Structure 1
Amino acid sequence: MSNQSLGNRVQTELKQAVLSGLLPDSDHEKAELLLERLQKPVRLAILGMPESGKSRLLNLLVGADVIPQGVHLPTMQLVYGDSEKSVCTLADGSKEVFNAVDADMIAGLSPVFVEMQMPLPALNKISVLEVVAPNDTNAVHRASQWASKRTDVALWCTRGFTEPEQRIWATMPDLIKDHAFCMVTHADFLKAQGLYEAAVGAISAAAGDEFNAVLAIATNQALSARRADGTVDKDVMRESGGSALISAVLKQVDRGRQSAVDQGDILLHQHADLLAPLKDAPVAPAPAPEPEVEPEPAAPVAAPEKAQAEAPKATEAPAETKPATRDAISRLREIAARKNVSRDLAFEEAAKPAETPAAEPEPEPEAAPEEEVPVEVAAEPLQPATRDAYEHVIAYLEERGAELASVLEKQGEDGPAEVMTMAVDQIQWLCDYLNENGDAADSSLQRTRDTAFDAADMVQLMQMEKQGTAALEAISLMLQIKRELQADLAA
């Protein structure tokens, strides 16, 4: 069964399970959350200090000149809509609604928050939150914390990732860091000055493992790759770093959805007996993903103090960085980002932006093109010894995965703890086996070994933290590793 058909089945069955009321209360809530993740676009937030190139990056990601050069708007949420619509929240709490998206008109109202709805193809996959705050460390800190509760993937735009920025980012939740990219948004300027390598190296060192990856982008160059006739200069887009950005976002979108599919499938299997009556019920067609995302503009981050009541208060941004025992998920994601696996190309074509390094904040944007081409990476053929090792591991994971699901199903409340113990043992076996088998000349094998060792760190950490969903996440992780091995075998 393809990942797409599995996703459609899980989404349909989760919806039936939620509507049926047959699930226990705690798992009913989990099913609702998973269903919501599958139905709605991934929430992407663009963060950073003022004048760091956030608006230009937004235009690039959605393939349209939503925020023209020189127009300053407050924090805004851009979501899909069949027609254009703007909902402006004013400082007194009142709202102005327009059946159009006109940045100049909106700016004239001086709103504190704006929701824009537009029929842009990219917004079928992502919604975009651009976070705007005054040029003050504490204000940016509060705004970033506010946004972290409304974000799945984050882009931190920077020109140097200074110490104040590092302190702000250090306070962000680890879960956000695992799905975040540090965007160096003036790559063209750095190259012109001969400072590119040194600057990006310094930023990468300062960022450490606080991000999934550090990406340099010349945003203006990327925007100029879009011609007036809607076509894209692929070479310019690739050179600018736009293609790398789109590819990175695509992988996060794909991984997030697949994780939800895996966890939903496991939850359905766990309660198969309770849900058995639904098998005889008429099966509704697989629900199409709902394009629009309900943003939560209750506390616009750009509002004055009185309008920012919901935003977390902080007298100053904490000075310390991450805890010594950094969540291993970030390292796992970092390795996964290096995988040469081509993912869902539909979004790239829909989003129509190409990867590019960010440039100076204010160049003339080109008309948004209609199409973007994915970056293709030639996969190296696996050596026979590596193929044999992968096939053995896949068979092992399939067998052990069935055992884990059976334990969850049969042992009720005691199941998750035993599953975690088994998962730790099984992933440790995976590390040992891959370390001793396969052909070391295969770059794929080395990446897989790295992934396995970081997966072992992660499940051990989850076991110690005793998270409520840890058992499902551990099984999901094993399924993810199995799929990546299958993809390498099929390449």
Structure 2
Amino acid sequence: MSNQSLSTRVQEELKQAVESGLLPDAARRRAMQLLGRLDQPVRVGLLGMPGAGKSKILNLLVGKEVIPDGVNLPTVQLIYGDTEQAICTLADEDKTTLNGIDVQEIAELEPIFVELRMPLPALKKISVMEVEASSGDPEALHRASQWAAKRCDVAMWCTKGFLPAEQNVWAQMPDMIKDHGFLMLTHADHIAAAGKLDIAMTAVRKAAGNEFNHVLSIATTDALASRKPDGSVDKDQMRASGGLALIAAVLKQVDQGRQSAVDRGDILLHQNADALAGKLEAVSKQDVTAGDPGQTQDATTVTLSIVENGVVSRIETDIPVSRTADSDEIKSAVVTLHPATREAYETALQYIAKQSSEIAEIVAAAGEDAPAQVIATTVEHVQWICDYLNENGDDSDQALVRARETAFDAADLAQLMQMEKNDNAAIEALSLLLQIKYELQADLAA
């Protein structure tokens, strides 16, 4: 199944699940959140000191000069709209709507926030918010950045050198934003003209440490100039400016964010399959039965201990990991493993069994960082299995090919789950490890 068809199927089934009224309250809220992610563009926030080149990055991302040089506006958010409109929030919190977009007219209103709606193709995939803080005061920039962190999925810190004051503001940003953070060294054309681009990038990377997902340089003036009046783009100029690398990285974040929501939605639907089917009986918790390849374990109970406001609590949940196949599926699932593959499977299963005790110890120890530890540990184990299966077994075994694909998909998804270090994400990460386990067991039992 293609990613597009999977996305369409999951989105439709989530809508039906929410409308059915059969989901438990917590699952229904989660499903609605996921639907919101699938329905809305990825939110990109542009942060940094005044004069850092945020407006030019905004213009580059949306493919049009929306905010020209020399125009001072407050925080601006661009979203898709069928017609151009500017909705200006004034100092008294009243709102004024202007048909069309005239930045000079907007500036004269002295708004404190502006929402621009424009029919630009890029805005169907991303919305862009340029965050401004008064006079570049570090405390004002901190407050504005914290406000923006709650309203964006990807953050780009635009800078001329990432100085200590900027480093301090970024250091206090939420980890989830840092995981999707870009550090953009702007004005790279001017720095390169002075022969100092390599030195500047080395210094910026050192200052950035591991606080960003990407550290890029961009000659924004050159990147914007690569877009011609007739709508064509000089790809060589765009590539040389760093604009192509930026756009590609943003599009990758968009695709990963959507795929993450699709995968989590698929897991949620599986977790609540019985509720959606209207079944009242409890989910069976029996292990794989050797000799019956159609019967697999239906669920595993996981308990997470967390601390919140000094109170220890435990969250227990059932993780469905497969289902009973019908007769046709059983026939197609029967496989014969070559000895090398069988040995690789057994080694992988022994590894899972051994490492499960480590996860159990984390789960048993109450602590507010338990979910994050569970996810990190699970990611490590899934990656080990992925690498091991890729290097061992008989390549002619179709079952091994499928197992490798499952492991690779699980590894990618587990990495994405680190974006949300909470109980739901921890449970979903564990379900990936268990799914690999039961697929290997099913092949061995066939």
* Alignment TM-score, normalising by the size of structure 1: 0.63
Q: Determine the structure 1 residue equivalent to 2:186.
A: 185
Question: How far does residue 460 in structure 1 lie from its aligned partner after superposition?
Answer: 10
Q: Determine the structure 2 residue equivalent to 1:99.
A: 99
Question: How far does residue 459 in structure 1 lie from its aligned partner after superposition?
Answer: 8.4
- Name the CA distance, whole Å, in 2 between partners of 1:215 and 1:112: 30
Aligned partner of residue 127 in structure 1, secondary structure: strand
Flag the 1:270–1:124 CA change in 2: closer, same or farther, 3 A: same
Q: Determine the structure 1 residue equivalent to 2:16.
A: 16
Q: Determine the structure 1 residue equivalent to 2:28.
A: 28
Flag the 1:235–1:467 CA change in 2: closer, same or farther, 3 A: same
Question: How far does residue 479 in structure 1 lie from its aligned partner after superposition?
Answer: 9.7
CA RMSD of aligned residues (A): 3.6
Give the number of aligned pairs: 338
- Name the CA distance, whole Å, in 1 between partners of 2:6 and 2:411: 28
Flag the 1:209–1:479 CA change in 2: closer, same or farther, 3 A: farther
Q: 1:198-217, aligned counterparts within 5 Å?
A: 198-217=199-218
Question: How far does residue 229 in structure 1 lie from its aligned partner after superposition?
Answer: 1.2
Q: 1:438-453, aligned counterparts within 5 Å?
A: none
Q: Determine the structure 2 residue equivalent to 1:7.
A: 7
Given that 2:379 and 2:429 are in contact with CA atoms closer than 8 Å, whether structure 1 keeps it comes out as no
Q: 1:254-293, aligned counterparts within 5 Å?
A: 254-276=255-277
Q: 1:79-478, aligned counterparts within 5 Å?
A: 79-134=79-134, 135-276=136-277, 423=378, 426-427=381-382, 429-430=384-385, 433=388, 467-473=423-429, 475=431
Given that 2:260 and 2:413 are in contact with CA atoms closer than 8 Å, whether structure 1 keeps it comes out as no
Given that 1:43 and 1:127 are in contact with CA atoms closer than 8 Å, whether structure 2 keeps it comes out as yes
Q: Determine the structure 2 residue equivalent to 1:442.
A: none
Q: Give structure 2 stretches of 5+ with no counterpart.
A: 280-339, 357-370, 394-406, 437-446
Flag the 1:265–1:458 CA change in 2: closer, same or farther, 3 A: closer
Given that 2:78 and 2:115 are in contact with CA atoms closer than 8 Å, whether structure 1 keeps it comes out as yes
Q: Which has the greater radius of gyration?
A: 2
- Name the CA distance, whole Å, in 1 between partners of 2:432 and 2:257: 11
* Superposed CA offset, 1:400-447 (max 9, x none): 9xxx9xxxxxxxxxxx99x97994685264266269659xxxxxxxxx
Question: How far does residue 469 in structure 1 lie from its aligned partner after superposition?
Answer: 2.8
List structure 1 segments (4+ residues) > 2 angstroms apart after TM superposition. Answer: 419-426, 434-438, 449-462, 465-469, 473-480
* Aligned-partner residue type, residue 128 of structure 1: V
- Name the CA distance, whole Å, in 1 between partners of 2:188 and 2:376: 46
Q: Determine the structure 2 residue equivalent to 1:54.
A: 54
Flag the 1:478–1:151 CA change in 2: closer, same or farther, 3 A: farther
Given that 1:78 and 1:129 are in contact with CA atoms closer than 8 Å, whether structure 2 keeps it comes out as yes
- Name the CA distance, whole Å, in 2 between partners of 1:127 and 1:460: 23
* Superposed CA offset, 1:220-270 (max 9, x none): 000000111111111000000000000000110000100110010011011
- Name the CA distance, whole Å, in 1 between partners of 2:418 and 2:82: 46
Q: Determine the structure 1 residue equivalent to 2:360.
A: none
- Name the CA distance, whole Å, in 2 between partners of 1:58 and 1:477: 40
Q: Determine the structure 1 residue equivalent to 2:298.
A: none
* Alignment TM-score, normalising by the size of structure 2: 0.69
Flag the 1:76–1:428 CA change in 2: closer, same or farther, 3 A: closer
Aligned partner of residue 29 in structure 2, secondary structure: helix
* Aligned-partner residue type, residue 138 of structure 1: E
Flag the 1:26–1:102 CA change in 2: closer, same or farther, 3 A: same
Question: How far does residue 467 in structure 1 lie from its aligned partner after superposition?
Answer: 2.7
Aligned partner of residue 231 in structure 1, secondary structure: coil
Given that 1:47 and 1:54 are in contact with CA atoms closer than 8 Å, whether structure 2 keeps it comes out as yes
Q: Which has the higher strand share?
A: 2
- Name the CA distance, whole Å, in 2 between partners of 1:453 and 1:173: 24
Question: How far does residue 468 in structure 1 lie from its aligned partner after superposition?
Answer: 3.5
Between the aligned residues of both structures, percent identity stands at 59
Aligned partner of residue 175 in structure 1, secondary structure: helix
Given that 2:79 and 2:118 are in contact with CA atoms closer than 8 Å, whether structure 1 keeps it comes out as yes
Question: How far does residue 451 in structure 1 lie from its aligned partner after superposition?
Answer: 12
Aligned partner of residue 158 in structure 2, secondary structure: strand
